[in-house]
Amino acid sequence: MALNALKDSPKDPKPWWESAIVYQIYPRSFKDTNGDGVGDLRGILEGLDYLKSLHVGCLWLSPVFPSPMRDFGYDVKDYEGIDPLFGTLEDFDTLLTATHQLGMKLILDLVPNHTSDQHPWFIESRSDRDHDKRDWYVWRDPGMAGAPPNNWLSFFGGPAWTLDSASGQYYLHQFDSTQPELNYRHPAVLEAMLDNIRFWLERGVDGFRIDVIWLLIKDAWLRDEPLNPNWDGSNPHEQLLHIYTADQPEVHQIIRSFRALFDQYGERLIVGEIDLPPENLMAYYGLAGDECQLPFNFSLIHTPFEAQILRQTVRDYEARLPAGAWPNWVLGNHDRPRLATRIGAPKARLAQLLLLTLRGTPTCYYGDELGMLNGSIPKERIKDPQAINQPEVGEWIGRDPQRTPLPWTKGPNRGFAPPGADPWLPVGDETATPSIETQSRDLSSFLHFFRSLSALRQSEAALMKGDYREIAIDHDDIMAYERSFADQRFLIILHFGGTPVTVPLQDPEIPLKLRLSTHPRSIAASLDSPLTLAGYEGVILQYPISPMKGRRP
């Protein structure tokens, strides 16, 4: 008997992440309970009922480990603790237990590619060229005339190398200079990271999102990267083609080692951060399904929000999925401009409808359930190192606008922090994004729409795990598809144009039931064909269940 069949209930042999909605919390901006202006674990605990009301099944916390916070937690100085800013290990255990009691899962954010320069490993490594941890990081002698060892660039501007004057060698960092990269060609590094992972799996966390997993290992010869002939002159990091710093063949063995450990603990999830096109992404499921269960699929983030392009994007991705692999979709995160800002507020509901009805695990970014917009950050309040290090492009490349505090109420500090506190980023006002309090009372609000959508998704097997089939509707602004499971069938029609459009339904004889619309509509018993959709309207329609279907004659 297969191992899966032994450990799962006969009712649902699929692992939990195939039906859950994942929700990303940026802890600094979720809820501040002690008035220091930064969100904390108790804030998340206080917000659990709200999260439950969104019908999300898995919370992903951006890093909460001890950190100098140069990159706001993506610079870890101790993988086995909680930064005092966020609380204590005890607060974490309380949060984990409470999350589980509400039937939700909790995953953390592992940052194995680099540590903080304050991590004891790096302090030791830097202390002496002969130290036995010297090779835990990537050190090299200077190149010609004292220049960096090669031409690699940092995502945060400038070369990917910083000279340590005491030892006369450079160390590698593809992010901030305070984020030195670990050397996974040294076996002890992998062992040490596995120990850190084990610490949290033992505590009961349900998995990890793994930061920049596709960058974990670099070319053994540190060869120069070729120039990118298609560079558009904007993001300096894109001047080079990253053929030696990313997606190296050896990375898969490391991921398999991570996964083997996760599997010792039952159903524990690896969401890999892999910013690659689908043709390169699929390898991260593993040849034997033994790497990431969900290699993050960023294609919706990179795709213009137009019907035919999106249809093609979904088709390509589905076609490339390896046998047995489960898809996933994401529309926003802490590194990208907010969805509603990126594609325009009028299309934001449509985008959520797409995300929550495609086949695959959706990941929602905190605040997107409110239709939240990018915050505006005055220059003097910019915090993001990616912006600070590159003043010439920082304004558009900066990530603070998508990390602003969640607005809970209309009151002082919008309920994010106690009155009198000074939130780390501006909270924005009610006219940009109405608060949770305001939206909860308004049946026409974005939040109300999101809750209806997530409730419907989680109550219908066809939407949660059914098959996906494209439906041809001959109109440039329309994307349509069917989701089906056993005898249930749903038709989703998304209209990406701004003016009303009338579409024929496939078979006018079959009365379709409207289950949900992005727009105000009475949920009538059945709909007429042709159907008129408002600008940017999306609908979920349900086919009647045929009484004969599935029965033997």
Instruction: Give min distance, CB of 416 to ligand GLC, in A.
Output: 21
Residue nearer to ligand GLC on the CB measure, 384 or 482: 384
| Coil/strand/helix, residue 494 | strand
Q: Is 83 in the site for Ca ion (CB under 5 A)?
A: no
Q: Applying CB under 5 A, which of residues 36, 219, 306, 318 lies at the interface with Ca ion? A: 36
Torsion of CA 453, 458, 460, 463, to 10 degrees: 70
Query: Which residue reads 């939700």 in tokens?
Result: 104
Residues 249-278 that bind ligand GLC (CB under 6 A): 273
Instruction: Give min distance, CB of 425 to Ca ion, in A.
Output: 13
Residue nearer to ligand GLC on the CB measure, 267 or 335: 335
Residues 301-340 that bind ligand GLC (CB under 6 A): 334-335
The option from Ca ion, ligand GLC, none interacting with 212 (CB < 5 to 8 A, set by class) reads ligand GLC
Query: 385: cis peptide before it, omega within 30°?
Result: no
Residues 147-186 that bind ligand GLC (CB under 6 A): 175
Contact 71, 177 (CB under 8 A): no
Instruction: Give min distance, CB of 180 to ligand GLC, in A.
Output: 12
The option from Ca ion, ligand GLC, none interacting with 34 (CB < 5 to 8 A, set by class) reads Ca ion
Nearest CA to 110 among 71, 72, 70, 61?
61
Q: Applying CB under 6 A, which of residues 83, 211, 477, 482 lies at the interface with ligand GLC? A: 211
Instruction: Give min distance, CB of 308 to ligand GLC, in A.
Output: 30
Nearest CA to 62 among 107, 122, 102, 10?
107
Residue nearer to ligand GLC on the CB measure, 39 or 434: 39
Choices 34-42, 287-295, 323-331, 475-483 (CB under 5 A): range interacting with Ca ion: 34-42
Q: Just list the catalytic residues.
A: 211, 273
Binding mask 498-527 for ligand GLC (x = CB under 6 A): ------------------------------
Greatest extent of the chain over all pairs of C-alpha atoms, in Å: 85
The option from Ca ion, ligand GLC, none interacting with 86 (CB < 5 to 8 A, set by class) reads none
Torsion of CA 466, 469, 472, 476, to 10 degrees: 80
Instruction: Give min distance, CB of 251 to ligand GLC, in A.
Output: 15
Q: Is 318 in the site for Ca ion (CB under 5 A)?
A: no
The option from ligand GLC, Ca ion, none interacting with 71 (CB < 5 to 8 A, set by class) reads ligand GLC
Contact 296, 272 (CB under 8 A): yes
Residue nearer to ligand GLC on the CB measure, 82 or 387: 387
Alpha-carbon Rg for the chain, nearest whole angstrom, is 24
Residue nearest to ligand GLC (CB): 74
CB atoms within 10 A of CB 277: 13
d(CA 439, CA 408): 10
Q: Applying CB under 5 A, which of residues 27, 28, 31, 32 lies at the interface with Ca ion? A: 32
Order the strands of the 513-517 sheet from edge to edge.
Answer: 467-471, 478-485, 488-495, 538-542, 513-517
Nearest CA to 215 among 129, 310, 280?
280
Q: Is 40 in the site for Ca ion (CB under 5 A)?
A: yes
Residue nearer to ligand GLC on the CB measure, 114 or 483: 114
| Coil/strand/helix, residue 361 | strand
Nearest CA to 298 among 324, 325, 271, 319?
271
Exposure b/e, 511-527, CB count within 10 A at least 16 = b = ebebbbbbbeeeeeeeb
> How far, CA to CA in Å, does 549 sit from each of 137, 320, 484, 509?
62, 31, 13, 17
Q: Is 111 in the site for ligand GLC (CB under 6 A)?
A: yes
Residues 32-91 that bind ligand GLC (CB under 6 A): 71, 74
Q: Is 88 in the site for Ca ion (CB under 5 A)?
A: no
The option from ligand GLC, Ca ion, none interacting with 40 (CB < 5 to 8 A, set by class) reads Ca ion
d(CA 502, CA 481): 17
Residue 79 burial class via C-beta count within 10 angstroms: exposed 0-12, middle 13-18, buried 19 and up = buried
Residues 366-425 that bind ligand GLC (CB under 6 A): none
Question: For binding to ligand GLC (CB under 6 A), which residues are involved?
Answer: 71, 74, 111, 175, 211-212, 273, 334-335
